[in-house]
Amino acid sequence: MSRKHTDDAVSEAVRWFHRFRSQDPSALSPEEAAEWAAWSADDAHLREFCCVDELWQKLGTLPTIKRPTKEDAAADEYDPSKPVRDWLARGDANRPPR
């Protein structure tokens, strides 16, 4: 399978996944149901759809990361005009905790 075909299948899988998350599958119009049936009949397409679903499930188990406060942002010494690698090269003592 070509890279373009794979990218297209992933994009379409995400589109279908979003469609099913935003509306119950039973709300598909007859045209959408026929489109889903034709698209998902391809094993590669259905695998991509299952991968999107699996990723969604895994993302739901990630811990929530606390957003920085205004004070945190003001104290941040990172200069976005310079490459991240330069900032990281400053050494462990100057790195924020992970």
Predicted TM-score of the model (pTM): 0.59
Residue 79 in this model has a pLDDT that exceeds 80:
yes
Residue 92 lies in a domain: no
In this prediction, residues 56-79 reach a mean pLDDT of: 87
Domain hosting residue 8, numbered range: 3-59
Residue 1 in this model has a pLDDT that exceeds 70:
no
Residue 64 lies in a domain: no
Q: How many domains does the chain have?
A: 1
Hey, how many other C-beta atoms are within 10 angstroms of the C-beta on 34?
11
Residue 29 lies in a domain: yes
Residue 35 lies in a domain: yes
Residue 45 lies in a domain: yes
CA–CA distance from 91 to each of 78, 79, 95 (Å)?
13, 16, 7
Residue 94 lies in a domain: no
7-66 residue pLDDT tens:
899 999 999 999 999 988 888 999 999 999 999 999 999 999 999 999 999 988 888 888
